[in-house]
């Protein structure tokens, strides 16, 4: 067929017309519609499946909240608060909800590691354990079993007990736990009420709360329990007075915020005692005038803590001081609490004693809504440890008063008394003050074993890392913290998902090491695995623990009314002061516990970091709070870059001008400046612990620093 121009045009037009009416267009439209709506490969498509809910306990902090984990086809997809749990009653904090970001974090330590030179290399569990056993055997062979030590995040619970037992039967008394306000409360309770080990606060039932800087709704005590208590308090019209130099969230939520010069809290408490004693508005049923310690105490406060004097020291208006004293004394069930911020560190002994003196004057000891003094409830029943002669000898050697003093000593010389260190549930190279010194001390310890899930600041310094399961992968008994909560419970952490990586329970790890050591040590660990051990040592409560997931050990105050000894307070205690020369460091750096930033051994999750204000983190910079007056003096404006210098270090920061902080102070968030491999969390801001020097109290040996003298200048 000859195609001339005419037929060509005709054909062309026909084709156009045909295409226009054919269904091809519609079909293509439809297809491209679907195509643009499903970008295969670019977006993850979550697999659906059977939905299940399992209960467990969160152990990201000491709060021990009950959690319910929603799973789909075996994957954990959401963590929620467990509704019927006695501690958190369905509530949950942001760190707990973000728990799965820890569990599935690809930057977790995936297998045991051994440090060779400057690098970590993968090894098997067997090799790691036998390597550790070899080292320990050598130490024991030198007859120096006391030169091994262990630092743990807590000293309760079966895993800590297993480590303690290991050290004991090996021959070392050097088991330490990281100090917190609980430690100071325990000291206070023992000193003022005789042999008793815990002190807890029934804030839930109090009718007036006087808080000396406690971040009551910022992670203090058992955080979610406190949140719940706070909400209930508002409903019941129970007042909260918050005494602290900065408008924290707690201060903002309180009925009254009383700014105070930092470090003078003890003075205020004693000044209040003065008024209460002077006006005889203390509880006469529990305080006997004839008590000699009370007489001494009365004399001391009358002499040294007159309201006028206290008003001057603390910077609080005299009338207000009187008002607080009356409000406290006249309240039906008042309670005074201390422990700055989250209470993650040990407190000032004098301050705690003075605050507790208020509780004693109010006569609220072992009453509903008051302060409960009681023995530690030990629910664990371990068989008696059998020690050989080397162990007995080693165990009887003197121990350091605290881990801080140990570090202090070790940092001074490379020829240290400590040959090996186990690090469990803690991150001292990050959380301890003057962390550069801590890191130096770690370098002086020849052999360190870390039981960590993450390559944190301390794990990085270890020679061997035995990676542990995350809390959703393991069994463990989780006792509730002592100070914040009166309802003493123990919860059961359960393995809800299969271990993601080649990790183990820390309990199993220590059992493996014990077995590898053979002999006497191995004999003391007869259990085939940690779960068996847990079952046997909790046998009294195991059935209800495994059934319900928690057991309430105490929920009533002891009937016992312990006597009160005020000599502890009159005993010439000194308040902890900010270190540093005021001339070169005219300002004071204080740490801010921000509920959205995890401050302890575990770093924040990506989600938690995401919630942090741009007035705290901006890019990789940390912003510090300055009162406009302080900022103006230093010629700094909001957003300016500045350098903070303290006697122990310096850091580059940015400025956040905030009206709610007392002039003369620099407020810096705790918990930043992490150096993990997790890019979502690490390298943001600075670790405030690098800037603060520890102040070790002579009596307790614990670091009770709350700040440090500092200066700030524009960069």
Partner 1 sequence: MKQEQKHGKTYKFGMAIDLDKCTGCGSCMVACMSENNVPFKVDESNKKDSISWMKVFKLTNGKSFPDTEICYLPRPCMHCSGKDSHNPSPCVSVCPATATDTDPTTGIVSQIYTRCFGCRYCMAACPYHARYFNWWDPKWPEGMEKYLSPDVSPRMRGVVEKCSFCFHRYQEAKDKAYVEDRDEINEEEYQTSCTQACPAGAITFGDLNNPSHAIHQLVKPDPHHYGKPRNPKAFRLLERLETNPKVYYISEKEWVRKSGDNYLEGEWEKVKNHHG
Partner 2 sequence: MDSALIPDGAKRCSFPVFAIGIAAVGAVLLWGVFAMFLIWFKGLNQTNMNDYYGFALWIWADLAVIAIGGGAFFTGLLKYIFGIDELKNIINFAVIIGFICYSSALLILAIDIGQPLRGWFIFWHANVHSMLTEVAFCLSCYFAVLVIEFIPNILENKQLIKIPFLRHVNHNMHGIMAVFAATGAFLSFFHQGSLGGVTGVLYGRPFGVREGLLVWPWTFFLYTFSAAAYGPTFTILVTKAVEKITGKKLVKDNVIRLLAKIAGWMILVYIVAKIIDTIYWANVTAPQLGFTLNDFYGHGFYRIWILYAEIIIGGILPALILIFKRSRENSTLLVLALILAVFGVCLNRWVMVLQVMAVPVMSFDQWAHYFPSWQEIATTILPVAYGIILISLTYRYLPVFPQEQELYPETIAAAKAEAEAKVQEEDAKKA
Partner 3 sequence: MFPFSFEWVWDAAHIIFFGGLWYALSILGMGMTYVIFKSLYDVIWGKESEGH
> Binding residues for partner 2, per CB under 8 A?
29, 32-33, 35-37
Residue 659 CB, nearest distance to partner 2 (Å)? Answer: 14
Residue 5 CB, nearest distance to partner 3 (Å)? Answer: 9
Q: Which of 248, 187, 258 is nearest to 220 (CA)?
A: 248
577 burial (CB, 10 Å; 0-12 / 13-18 / 19+) is middle
Q: What part of residues 13-72 is at the interface with partner 3 (CB under 8 A)?
A: 13
The answer to whether the Cα torsion of 221, 226, 229, 235 is positive or negative is positive
Cα distance between residue 688 and residue 597, in whole Å: 13
Contact between 369 and 236 under an 8 Å Cβ cutoff? The reply is: no
* Complex with partner 3: residue 4 or 659, whichever CB lies closer: 4
Query: 7, 8, 9, 641: which one contacts partner 3 (CB under 8 A)?
Result: 9
- Buried b / exposed e over 469-488, threshold 16 CB at 10 Å, is bbbbbbbbbbbbbbbbbbbb
* Complex with partner 2: residue 398 or 619, whichever CB lies closer: 619
* Residue 282, SS3 per DSSP: coil
Cα distance between residue 460 and residue 135, in whole Å: 19
Could you say which of partner 2, partner 3, partner 1, none residue 253 binds, taking C-beta under 5 to 8 angstroms by partner kind?
Answer: partner 1
Residue 147 CB, nearest distance to partner 2 (Å)? Answer: 56
* Complex with partner 2: residue 5 or 119, whichever CB lies closer: 5
Residue 153 CB, nearest distance to partner 1 (Å)? Answer: 23
Could you say which of partner 3, partner 1, partner 2, none residue 609 binds, taking C-beta under 5 to 8 angstroms by partner kind?
Answer: partner 1
Residue 485 CB, nearest distance to partner 1 (Å)? Answer: 14
Q: What part of residues 334-373 is at the interface with partner 3 (CB under 8 A)?
A: none
The stretch among 5-13, 225-233, 301-309, 493-501 that binds partner 3 (CB under 8 A) is 5-13
Could you say which of partner 3, partner 1, partner 2, none residue 412 binds, taking C-beta under 5 to 8 angstroms by partner kind?
Answer: none
Residue 36 CB, nearest distance to partner 1 (Å)? Answer: 8
541 dihedral zone (left: phi>0; alpha: psi -120 to 50; beta): alpha
Cross-strand pairs, 682: none
Could you say which of partner 1, partner 2, partner 3, none residue 6 binds, taking C-beta under 5 to 8 angstroms by partner kind?
Answer: partner 3
* Complex with partner 2: residue 29 or 292, whichever CB lies closer: 29
Our CA dihedral for 677, 681, 685, 688, rounded to 10 degrees, sits at -80
Q: Which of 435, 363, 373, 501 is nearest to 691 (CA)?
A: 435
Could you say which of partner 3, partner 1, partner 2, none residue 105 binds, taking C-beta under 5 to 8 angstroms by partner kind?
Answer: partner 1
Query: 2, 3, 6, 559: which one contacts partner 3 (CB under 8 A)?
Result: 6
Cross-strand pairs, 657: 626
Residue 1 CB, nearest distance to partner 3 (Å)? Answer: 19
Radius of gyration of the chain (CA): 29
**By CB under 8 A, is residue 138 in contact with partner 3?**
no
Could you say which of partner 2, partner 3, partner 1, none residue 607 binds, taking C-beta under 5 to 8 angstroms by partner kind?
Answer: partner 1
Residue 15 CB, nearest distance to partner 3 (Å)? Answer: 14
Cα distance between residue 108 and residue 112, in whole Å: 11
Could you say which of partner 3, partner 1, partner 2, none residue 15 binds, taking C-beta under 5 to 8 angstroms by partner kind?
Answer: none
* Complex with partner 3: residue 13 or 302, whichever CB lies closer: 13
Order of strands across the sheet with 66-72?
Answer: 51-57, 66-72, 75-81
321 burial (CB, 10 Å; 0-12 / 13-18 / 19+) is buried
285 burial (CB, 10 Å; 0-12 / 13-18 / 19+) is exposed
Could you say which of partner 1, partner 2, partner 3, none residue 78 binds, taking C-beta under 5 to 8 angstroms by partner kind?
Answer: partner 1
Residue 6 CB, nearest distance to partner 3 (Å)? Answer: 7
* Complex with partner 2: residue 12 or 194, whichever CB lies closer: 12
Could you say which of partner 3, partner 2, partner 1, none residue 32 binds, taking C-beta under 5 to 8 angstroms by partner kind?
Answer: partner 2
Residue 29 CB, nearest distance to partner 2 (Å)? Answer: 7
25 burial (CB, 10 Å; 0-12 / 13-18 / 19+) is exposed
Residue 36 CB, nearest distance to partner 2 (Å)? Answer: 5
Cα distance between residue 218 and residue 203, in whole Å: 15
* Complex with partner 1: residue 187 or 627, whichever CB lies closer: 627
* Complex with partner 3: residue 26 or 43, whichever CB lies closer: 26
Contact between 674 and 603 under an 8 Å Cβ cutoff? The reply is: yes
The answer to whether the Cα torsion of 355, 359, 361, 365 is positive or negative is negative
Phi and psi angles of residue 261, each rounded to the nearest 5 degrees, phi first = -65, 125
Could you say which of partner 2, partner 1, partner 3, none residue 190 binds, taking C-beta under 5 to 8 angstroms by partner kind?
Answer: none
Could you say which of partner 3, partner 1, partner 2, none residue 536 binds, taking C-beta under 5 to 8 angstroms by partner kind?
Answer: none
Binding site for partner 3 (CB under 8 A): 6, 9, 13
């Amino acid at each position: 067929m000859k195609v001339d121009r005419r037929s060509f045009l005709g054909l062309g037009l026909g084709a156009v017309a045909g295409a226009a009416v054919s269904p091809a267009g519609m079909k293509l439209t439809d297809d491209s519609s679907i195509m643009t709506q499903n970008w295969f490969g670019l977006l993850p498509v979550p697999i659906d499946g059977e939905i299940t809910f399992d209960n467990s306990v969160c152990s990201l902090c000491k709060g021990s909240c009950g959690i319910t984990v929603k799973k789909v086809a075996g994957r954990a997809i959401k963590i929620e608060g467990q509704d019927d749990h006695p501690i958190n009653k369905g509530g949950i904090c942001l760190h707990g909800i973000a728990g799965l970001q820890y569990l599935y974090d690809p930057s977790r330590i995936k297998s045991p590691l051994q440090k060779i030179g400057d690098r970590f290399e993968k090894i098997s569990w067997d090799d790691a354990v036998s390597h550790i056993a070899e080292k320990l055997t050598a130490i024991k062979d030198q007859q120096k079993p006391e030169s091994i030590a262990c630092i743990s995040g807590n000293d309760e619970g079966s895993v800590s007990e297993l480590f303690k037992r290991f050290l004991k039967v090996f021959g070392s008394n050097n088991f330490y736990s990281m100090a917190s306000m609980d430690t100071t409360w325990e000291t206070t309770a023992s000193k003022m009420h005789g042999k008793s080990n815990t002190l807890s606060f029934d804030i839930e039932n109090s009718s007036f709360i006087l808080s000396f800087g406690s971040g009551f709704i910022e992670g203090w005590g058992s955080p979610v329990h406190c949140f719940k208590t706070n909400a209930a308090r508002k409903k019941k019209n129970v007042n909260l007075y918050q005494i602290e130099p900065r408008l924290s969230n707690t201060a903002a939520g309180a009925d009254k915020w009383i700014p105070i010069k930092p470090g003078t809290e003890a003075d205020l408490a004693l000044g209040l005692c003065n008024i209460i004693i002077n006006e005889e508005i203390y509880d006469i049923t529990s305080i006997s005038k004839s008590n000699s310690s009370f007489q001494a105490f009365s004399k001391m406060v009358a002499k040294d803590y007159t309201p006028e004097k206290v008003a001057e020291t603390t910077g609080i208006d005299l009338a207000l001081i009187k008002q607080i004293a009356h409000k406290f004394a006249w309240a039906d069930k008042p309670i005074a609490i201390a422990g700055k911020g989250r209470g993650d560190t040990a407190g000032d002994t004098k301050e705690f004693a003075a605050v507790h003196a208020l509780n004693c004057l109010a006569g609220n000891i072992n009453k509903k809504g008051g302060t409960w003094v009681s023995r530690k409830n030990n629910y664990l029943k371990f068989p008696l440890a059998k020690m050989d002669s080397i162990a007995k000898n080693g165990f009887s050697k003197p121990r350091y008063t605290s881990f801080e003093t140990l570090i202090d000593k070790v940092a001074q010389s490379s020829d240290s008394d400590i040959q090996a260190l186990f690090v469990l549930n803690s991150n001292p190279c990050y959380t301890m003050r003057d962390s550069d010194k801590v890191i130096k001390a770690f370098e002086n310890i020849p052999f360190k074993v870390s039981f960590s899930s993450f390559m944190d600041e301390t794990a990085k310094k270890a020679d061997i890392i035995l990676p542990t399961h995350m809390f959703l992968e393991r069994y463990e008994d989780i006792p509730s913290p002592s100070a914040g909560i009166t309802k003493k419970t123990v919860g059961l952490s359960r393995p809800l998902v299969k271990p993601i990586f080649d990790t183990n329970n820390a309990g199993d790890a220590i059992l493996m090491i014990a077995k590898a050591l053979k002999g006497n040590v191995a004999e003391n660990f007869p259990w085939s695995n940690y779960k068996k051990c847990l079952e046997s040592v909790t046998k009294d409560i195991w059935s209800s623990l495994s059934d319900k997931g928690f057991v309430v050990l105490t929920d009533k105050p002891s009937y016992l009314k312990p006597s009160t000894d005020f000599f502890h307070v009159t005993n010439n205690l000194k308040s902890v002061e900010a270190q540093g020369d005021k001339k070169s460091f005219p300002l004071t750096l204080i740490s801010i516990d921000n509920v959205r930033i995890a401050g302890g051994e575990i770093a924040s999750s990506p989600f938690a970091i995401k919630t942090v204000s741009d007035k705290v983190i901006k890019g990789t910079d940390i912003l510090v709070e300055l009162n406009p007056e302080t900022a103006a003096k230093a010629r700094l404006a909001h957003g300016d870059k500045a350098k903070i210098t303290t006697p122990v270090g310096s850091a580059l920061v940015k400025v956040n001008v905030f009206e709610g902080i007392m002039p003369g102070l620099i407020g810096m968030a705790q918990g930043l400046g992490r150096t993990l491999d997790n890019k979502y969390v690490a390298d943001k801001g600075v670790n405030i612990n690098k800037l603060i020097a520890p102040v070790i109290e002579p009596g307790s040996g614990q670091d009770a620093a709350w700040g440090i003298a500092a200066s700030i200048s524009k960069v």
